[in-house]
Amino acid sequence: MGEASSTDSDSQQAVPPREQNGAAQQATSLEHPEPREQNGAAQQATNLERPEPAAASQPNPAAKALAAGPSRRTLLRPGKRRRTEDGEGPSAAASCPPHPGFMHGICIRCGALSTEADDTAVAFKYIHEGLQLSGQEADRIRSQHLMRVLNSRKLLLVLDLDHTLLASTRLTDVDPDCQRKLHGLLELEAQGPESARRLHHLPHMNMWTCLRPFVREFLEAAHERFELQIYTHGDQDYAREMARILDPTRKYFAERIISAGDSTRKHVKNLDVVLGAEAAALILDDTEGVWPEHRHNLILMHRYIYFPACANRFGIQQPSLLQRDTDEDPTVGPLATVLGVMQRTHERFFAATDPASQDVRSHLGDVRREVLAGVELVFSRVIPLAEFQPERNPLWQLAVELGAACAEAVSERTTHVVAAADHTSKVRWAHKHGKPVVSPDWLYAASFMWRKPDEADYGVAAYAQAPAPLSREEDMAAAAAGAGGGQGDYPQQPVSCEADKAAAAAVPGW
Amino acid sequence: MFFVLELDKEIELPPRFFGPRLRETLEQKLHSEVEGTCSGAYGFIICVVSTESVSKGIIREGTGSASFNVKYKCVVFRPFRGEVLDAVVTQVNKVGFFAEAGPLQIFVSSHLIPEDFELTTADEPSFVSADGEVRIQLGSEVRLRVVGTRIDASDIFCVGTIKEDYLGVIGDPQA
């Protein structure tokens, strides 16, 4: 370095000694390798002092290995490699084309440059911006994942962020009153241990973030039995920042963070970008509509509405948790509840010995059917009379999924009447026979709480006066807008509409 | 592979640097402008070895800055197909792993990792050999062969293999 006067003839004369010198130095740099980043490389180049012309610069690998010393050679174990190379194993059979995938247009197996686009290819941008895998390759990795699941006894768990594990809001969406409250809470938490901090003020992201109570314990417990993966509609910076808060040691998620733009279709989440077997994947999300193809993998979470802006977005009339100066109970709250459900599903999955029945979808369904087992429902003023097939009504289906039997008319087997209005003939019958009358919210609450809720909390009179919740489309739109603490590109438009009560269903006791 | 090349570069200096330390400033500016860049034609410019010649400055009308044509010798790093490189693993995932050799990023897919290596995701994702002795994880040093390169105008990307003799892990992560 810095030898400005060296000329070409000079360097040619000096080649033999310098080659030795160069090789030795390369070896020393191997003995003390440093993490090589941009400047590391510069340093390596400086070690070479006067780099040789092309032919001399690259000693053959064997010589390099010798120079590196005996300890390195044992690690390389050439014998072992040779056996796998010579054996006409599956590797010899599998060859390009078809190319399994491309990295920046280079085939990941044969190194050829891509020539034409592959229709089945799916981009895996969250792994690397240039990575594309063919459908077959993704399936192959998924089937490998299933094998690994069976060996390691760890299922895949796909986690949503917003309103599931945490809540975020933009600084500008917080009014001065709440802001004072938040700063007070922040100071209070600053006195406690670092690990117990839930509220985070992120001025660089222009955001307040509050972790759901019990989330750290939840992740720790889930980590034992599940491989965790984040899948959010927030943008990448947001997703990484939240992952850093949830998982500072990168123990749970590593690189498995899928954010907006990684999905194959806009505003819809799909397991096709998750390299895991569908039969071994559970999903935790607060919006059912974004998983159109994977409803049976989904555990629907009750929304965590901590900030007032979240409540507004989903059209919830009740004040948010922050405004009420309260929060979910960590021991019996939603996360603790679903953790129990996940663990039961996990146990059933691995208790099954028949490989055909090792499917989380059926086991999750079984767990769900236990919730209202032994209950027989009759609906009143819930399903329109004109409906030709009442069993196709979403509420009817939900009740069946929860294990309840449904009937069109009352009988002695009827245990509950689900009514949207008072003083119907079925309701009067129920009062006469001492059967509980509950509002449809009771069913939703059962689906969130994974047990039979207390009937007394779900009176019909209060239900009939409550405003109508968002429709499914609006609910999805609101969820998309809320992703990333309100950075979504959906217009913010919470207008109330009927149907789909699930989003706003209040669950007393949480 | 590393080469010493003679390249040239137009450097523009504002008038406040016209003085006794002009040449020094020019060299500083040259270092900061070219070192660490990548050109598709030559590869990554690792460091400037020497400045060979500096042309007479031409004053630009309007700004008063002078532009100099500087000829310099530099070390460039350009990967070739078939070349063997030592690299540090930067990420392990289900598809394979990424490694860095200085400024160059290389991807090794699971097809090009010997079959006896298996992915484990128990804690940190890593590829572990059947006997459990060799582990490819974050920070491992590997020796790999480049099987494909893509050279764009301002970036180079490689795909590599460790499924050959004398290739594989050569060092574990530094504590």
Spell out the domain ranges in chain A.
17-133, 155-351, 359-473
Query: Span A100-126, mean pLDDT?
Result: 79
A262-303 pLDDT tens trace: 887 778 888 888 888 888 889 998 888 888 888 888 988 888
CA–CA dist A477, A467 (Å, integer): 19
Q: Give A72's contacts in chain B (Cβ within 8 Å).
A: 170-171
Inform me whether the C-beta atom of residue B57 falls under 8 Å from chain A C-beta atoms.
no
CA distance B38 to chain A (A): 11
- Contact at CB, B46 and A84, closer than 8 angstroms: no
- Contact at CB, A72 and B93, closer than 8 angstroms: no
Q: Give B87's contacts in chain A (Cβ within 8 Å).
A: 36
pLDDT at A465: 65
- Contact at CB, B2 and A57, closer than 8 angstroms: yes
CA distance B17 to chain A (A): 23
A395-439 pLDDT tens trace: 888 899 899 898 888 888 888 888 888 888 888 888 888 888 888
A452-482 pLDDT tens trace: 888 878 877 767 666 666 666 667 776 666 6
Inform me whether the C-beta atom of residue B82 falls under 8 Å from chain A C-beta atoms.
no
B81-120 pLDDT tens trace: 999 999 999 989 888 999 999 999 999 998 899 988 888 8
Residue type, A317: Q
CA distance B26 to chain A (A): 15
Q: Give B132's contacts in chain A (Cβ within 8 Å).
A: none
Residue of A nearest to B76 (CA): A45
pLDDT at A481: 66
Check whether A500 has a pLDDT greater than 60. Answer: no
pLDDT at A495: 33
Helix axis angle, A334-351 to A440-449, nearest 10°: 60
Buried b (16+ CB within 10 A) or exposed e, A3-33: eeeeeeeebeeeeeebeeebbeebbebbeee
CA distance A332 to chain B (A): 29
Query: Span B47-64, mean pLDDT?
Result: 92
Check whether A25 has a pLDDT greater than 60. Answer: no
Check whether A48 has a pLDDT greater than 80. Answer: no
pLDDT at A94: 61
Which is nearest to B172 in space by CA: B143, B136, B147?
B136
Q: Give A254's contacts in chain B (Cβ within 8 Å).
A: 121, 124-125
Check whether B68 has a pLDDT greater than 90. Answer: yes
Q: What angle do CA B169, B173, B175 make, to 5 degrees?
A: 155
Pairing of strands A207-211, B58-59: unpaired
Q: Give A275's contacts in chain B (Cβ within 8 Å).
A: 93-95
Task: Identify the helix (H) or strand (E) that includes residue A363.
Answer: helix A360-369
Query: Span A181-199, mean pLDDT?
Result: 83
Indicate the SS3 state at residue B114: coil
- CATH superfamily ID and name for B2-77: RNA polymerase Rpb7-like, N-terminal domain (3.30.1490.120)
Average pLDDT, chain A: 74
Residue ranges of the domains in chain B?
2-77, 84-171
**Position with higher pLDDT, A402 vs A21:** A402
Residue of B nearest to A154 (CA): B122
Question: Cα torsion for A109, A111, A117, A120, to the nearest 10°?
Answer: 10
**Position with higher pLDDT, A433 vs A96:** A433
pLDDT at B66: 94
DSSP state of A192: S
The pLDDT > 70 percentage for chain A reads 71
H-assigned helices in chain B: 22-34
- CATH superfamily ID and name for B84-171: Nucleic acid-binding proteins (2.40.50.140)
- Contact at CB, B143 and A61, closer than 8 angstroms: yes
Q: For residue A293, what are the contacts with CB-CB under 8 A and spacing of at least 6?
A: A270, A271
Out of A42, A65, A77, whose CB is closest to B47?
Answer: A42
CA distance B145 to chain A (A): 10
- Contact at CB, B121 and A110, closer than 8 angstroms: no
A-to-B residue pairs, Cβ atoms closer than 8 angstroms: 199
CA distance B62 to chain A (A): 35
Check whether A189 has a pLDDT greater than 80. Answer: yes
Which among A109, A250, A256 is the top mutation candidate for probing chain B, defined by the most B β-carbons within 10 Å of its own β-carbon?
A109
- Concatenating the DSSP letter of every residue in A70-134 gives HHHHHHH-HHHHHHHHHS--HHHH--SSSP-EEETTEETTT-PBP-S--TT-EE-TTT-TTEEE-
Q: Do domains A155-351 and A359-473 have the same CATH topology?
A: yes
| pLDDT tier for residue A507 given thresholds of 50, 70 and 90 | low
Query: Span A310-316, mean pLDDT?
Result: 78
Quickly count: other Cβ atoms within 10 Å of residue A472's Cβ: 16
- Contact at CB, A84 and B95, closer than 8 angstroms: no
User: Looking at domain A155-351, which of 3.40.50.1000, 3.40.50.200, 3.10.129.10, 2.70.98.30 is its CATH number?
Assistant: 3.40.50.1000
Say whether domain A359-473 belongs to CATH 3.40.50.10190: yes
CA distance A252 to chain B (A): 8
Q: Give B80's contacts in chain A (Cβ within 8 Å).
A: none
- Contact at CB, B95 and A275, closer than 8 angstroms: yes
pLDDT at B54: 92
| pLDDT tier for residue A67 given thresholds of 50, 70 and 90 | very low
CA–CA dist A274, A138 (Å, integer): 9
How far the first Cα of chain B sits from its last, in Å, is: 29
CA distance B2 to chain A (A): 7
- Contact at CB, A81 and B167, closer than 8 angstroms: yes
Inform me whether the C-beta atom of residue B154 falls under 8 Å from chain A C-beta atoms.
no
A361-398 pLDDT tens trace: 888 888 989 888 888 888 888 887 777 788 888 888 88
Check whether A315 has a pLDDT greater than 60. Answer: yes
Check whether A122 has a pLDDT greater than 60. Answer: yes
Alpha-carbon distance values, A346 to A153, A282, A383, A461, B109 (Å) = 9, 10, 36, 40, 31
pLDDT at A116: 67
Token pair in block for residue A216: 């750290």
- Contact at CB, A78 and B114, closer than 8 angstroms: no
Residue of A nearest to B53 (CA): A4
